[in-house]
Amino acid sequence: MKVIISNEIKKIVARALQEDIGRRDTTSTIALPPSSKGRAVILARQSGILCGLEVAKEAFLQIDTSLVFKPLKKDGDSFCKNEGIARISGNLCSILAAERVALNFLALLSGVSTSTKKMIVKAKNTRVKIMDTRKTTPGLRVLEKYAVTVGGGRNHRSSLFSGIIIKDNHLRASGCIAGDKLCEEKVEELIKRFRSMSSLPIEIEVENLREFKGIIKYEPDIILLDNFPLSSLRAAVDIRNKKFPEVLLEASGGVNFENVSAIACSGVDFISAGMLTHSPPAVDFSLEMIRVK
């Protein structure tokens, strides 16, 4: 698997380098002759699923196009502690200038892919699909969502434009929910309006079984079960299976490594987990010099 280095990603890398370097790498320019050359290796300090190798390469090449970046793995590969990920050769000042930004991208994106893979493993032997959310680092969504796919997960909508999710605030703002009462006529009217104005699948968020029972009868494409306890998830799945088999169910809210297996076993079709992108543990990498001329 390989990310396409688009103009958007090039700009992300360029901003990161500018942020990290500023006017110059003061330490390297004083400590090293400008013509110093050598080789370095990127090492993993723990095991995981690799992601971000091409982004790391882009960081080095934006600093110095004469650097030679040799990958030893590819995105999606597993790696072990102390295993080599890539070798870089060329000007030492250039290697050191790009080091931290390259490692930061690898740490973040490999953290996302590793967490995604871990969650998928915990949900094994079920039919559920693990998905991300829009809870991403501002400006880095394209990379973090790529990392989810590298880990084996699926992408939810990438923007408000690309998918329809009628959330609780939409329902309240449009009068479909007043206080704690669901106005089913307005829900039906809202769904009809969406179907007449868009070909996108219609997903509606509900917060309890009462709302679920009031909405599923209008057969939206997907119902998002937000923060449902396990007993309510199972009840919703049972209702769907008996009366509305075409409606897909998504569980979300508070999903973590400890509860994802039980949620998956409830029979829902999708689990969306914000933690995959908003709080994945970073994977530790380091760059070590292996030869200096």
Task: List the catalytic residues.
Answer: 100, 135, 167, 205, 226
Q: Report how far residue 69's alpha carbon sits from residue 60's, in angstroms, rounded to the nearest whole number.
A: 8
CB atoms within 10 A of CB 292: 11
Contact 131, 270 (CB under 8 A): yes
Tell me the CB-side half-sphere exposure of residue 26, using CA atoms within 13 A: 2
Tokens encoding 269: 């079709």
Q: Is the dihedral of CA 87, 60, 141, 282 positive or negative?
A: positive
Tokens encoding 70: 């040799």
Q: Report how far residue 96's alpha carbon sits from residue 94's, in angstroms, rounded to the nearest whole number.
A: 5
Burial of 44 (0-12, 13-18, 19+ CB in 10 A): buried
Q: Report how far residue 80's alpha carbon sits from residue 118's, in angstroms, rounded to the nearest whole number.
A: 15
- Which value, to the nearest 10 degrees, does the dihedral of the CA atoms of residues 256, 74, 3, 115 take? 0
* Residue closest to 208 by CA, chosen among 181, 188, 187: 181
Q: Report how far residue 56's alpha carbon sits from residue 34's, in angstroms, rounded to the nearest whole number.
A: 23
Contact 111, 280 (CB under 8 A): yes
